[in-house]
Amino acid sequence: MSEECDHAVHRADSARLSLRGDCESCFGLCCVVPAFSASTDFAIDKDAGKACPHLQSDFRCAIHTHLREQGFPGCAAYDCFGAGQKISQLTFGGEDWRRAPGRAPQMFELFLVMRQLHELLWYLAEALTLQPARQLHGALGLAFEETERLAENSPESLGELDVATHRREVSALLLRVSELVRAKSRHRKDCTGLTSAVPTSATVSFSPHPS
């Protein structure tokens, strides 16, 4: 592996720490921005941009330790990949939407953009750990660095970003990773020493949740 690839792998591995949700550093954006409907995942209806009634004045959830029991397994499973604290503390410099209601619409919109970028960073970081995809580590490293650069942009630049196009480009690269890993697995040896074929419908699982 080249020195550049080694650097990309190390950088991505270190960055994974920032791709974990840190509710203490966020202004409850996941409790405000998304809309949800009463279902098996959520106990109530909530409009997009409207604070959940369980969100407290300190931006903490009043039922956080009992979400599933209270009918909110969707909230318990949700992962912002660190986008919440990034928007709250870096993009907007610690300015919260309650003290600056005029900036709330922009903050809410960019949270959705940042979450997509951070989700891509998580998948790229995981792809860089897969040995069958070593031949793509250079391209993966470049994609990681570019996505990370985009996530560091100002609110104005983030608002102008064509995140859908960037996501398509990165997804195409991740699909190539999936194909390489599946090809490597398709003819693996089982414990008896015989070749066992992996169904062609098998896909690589990029876990969205840090272990």
Question: Tens of pLDDT along 9-56?
Answer: 676 777 777 899 999 999 999 999 999 999 999 999 999 999 999 999
Nearest to 37 by CA among 78, 74, 87: 74
Q: Inform me whether the pLDDT recorded for 195 exceeds 90.
A: no
In a domain? residue 155 = yes
In a domain? residue 199 = no
In a domain? residue 175 = yes
Domain containing 136 equals 3-19+103-183
Q: Inform me whether the pLDDT recorded for 73 exceeds 80.
A: yes
In a domain? residue 63 = no
In a domain? residue 115 = yes
Residue recorded with tokens 């840190």: 22
CA separation (Å) from 149 to 26, 110, 132, 168, 205? 21, 15, 27, 17, 26
In a domain? residue 85 = no
Q: What is the pLDDT of residue 179?
A: 96
In a domain? residue 198 = no
- Residue range 121-146: mean pLDDT, rounded: 94
- Residue range 171-191: mean pLDDT, rounded: 83
In a domain? residue 194 = no
Number of domains in the chain: 1
